[in-house]
Amino acid sequence: MSNIVAIVGRPNVGKSTLFNRMIKRREAIVDAVSGVTRDRHYGKSDWNGREFSLIDTGGYVVGSDDVFEKEIDKQVELAIDEADAILFVVDVESGVTGMDEDVAKLLRRVKKPVLLVVNKVDAANRLHDAAEFYSLGLGEYYPIASINGSGTGEMLDALIEALPEAVEAEEITLPRFAVVGRPNAGKSSFINALIGKDRYIVTDIAGTTRDSIDTKYNRFGFEFNLVDTAGIRRKAKVKEDLEFYSVMRSVRAIEHSDVCLLIVDATRGFDSQVQNIFWLAAKNHKGIVILVNKWDLVEKDTSTVKEFEKHIRSQIEPFTDVPIVFISVLTKQRIFKAIETAVEVYQKRTKRISTSKLNDIMLPIVERMSPPAYKGKHVKIKFCTQLPTAYPQFAFFANLPQYVRDPYKRFIENQLREQFDFTGVPVTVYFRKK
């Protein structure tokens, strides 16, 4: 199980820009107006072969200084509690502020690695200005410019060196199905409905599930562990931010699950927070089933299901080959269909395709639709095989693999899905030198 790294700091210091650079994708909203990051953002990153989950602790609401201070306290306290290491980002342009000092005061008390990151050091004269941040009492600092990546390599080297060794999850023979989603979407109620007893506390107040709990479950002749991942624990010193805490706990559960049952509240829709959880599961190569709960509360006509499903698929492009089941935990509508679908996705995720069968089917497709010529060079694919990993990964061997572009890789992935049915499962395709 990989480590969690939290990015903390006051508004408008460039946390989201650093987050986007580290996950190699523009995902968080970046704007010059302080406080625009209203949602938290979660992603997967790696450096020098070491993977870790990354959390941008944004979500500051535009308002008075008092509001900002309360939000800072919440975010930093929660990050300290759950993360394995913390990147504390400050801004060389504004120098040390009162808010920076408040955050530093909290961080000086923790026993976890804290890296002080001085952002916007994009000119030589600003290196001298950065020395001011020694006054925060956090030791060495790392000058970077997140906008262009300057200095981030040295920062990441230090981060990887400081991270504790990732603890391997205990060997579990049974598959794990993690029930994930926003607070109060119906995760605990879903498990209670399945097992027929109130093992989990269920109320109308978001965040009553305090820890992740495994329940052994057998359905359709298939035994597995069902896990409620809300995992929200209340601590006296933590001002509760249930949304943030819920997802931080879910991050860990997602990473060592096999299939994620992503529960969506139909009355709230497939919003950005749900998308964040979806992409975190996808980046961790987990099987995914989307369950649209509270469907009994939605006013419907003949096209409602199609429109809702179309909207969800538009939000998860290009990974749209995911089963969507409309359920109602309250009336138990299609809850067993949800489990049946999850079992099918697990079986597809663990599917092995023989090399001979893979070549018999894929090589004729490649011959009919070969990679486009690049710089006058023609790519010839000679052989393919499935890699011996826990999830579907395929290697295609070619004379010039470096000239295979992303659109063709997506074409091959789609053909693999079509020919071998990997619905609900992320598929990775590599092109290697023959």
What 3-state class would DSSP assign to 50? strand
What 3-state class would DSSP assign to 111? coil
Residue with tokens 């996705």: 345
Residue with tokens 């981030």: 152
Pairing between strand 85-91 and 381-386? unpaired
Phi, psi (rounded to 5 degrees) for 66: -60, -40
> Helical H runs in 83-148?
98-107, 124-130
Residue type at 393 in one-letter notation: Q
Partners of 189 in the beta sheet? none
| Buried-exposed string 237-246: b where 16+ CB fall within 10 A, e elsewhere | eeebbbbbbb
Residue type at 99 in one-letter notation: M
- Contact of 288 with 345, CB cutoff 8 Å: yes
Query: Encoding tokens for residue 387?
Result: 């890699």
* Half-sphere CA count of 190, side-chain side, radius 13 A: 34
Query: Encoding tokens for residue 334?
Result: 């299609």
**Residues at the annotated binding site for GTP?**
9-16, 56-60, 119-122, 181-188, 228-232, 293-296
DSSP 245: H
Residue type at 386 in one-letter notation: Q
The residue among 369, 368, 371, 426 whose CA lies nearest residue 397 is 371
Q: Determine the Cα–Cα distance for residues 288 and 308; give it in Å rounded to an integer.
A: 18
E runs forming strands in 68-201: 85-91, 114-119, 141-143, 176-181
**Residues at the annotated binding site?**
9-16, 56-60, 119-122, 181-188, 228-232, 293-296
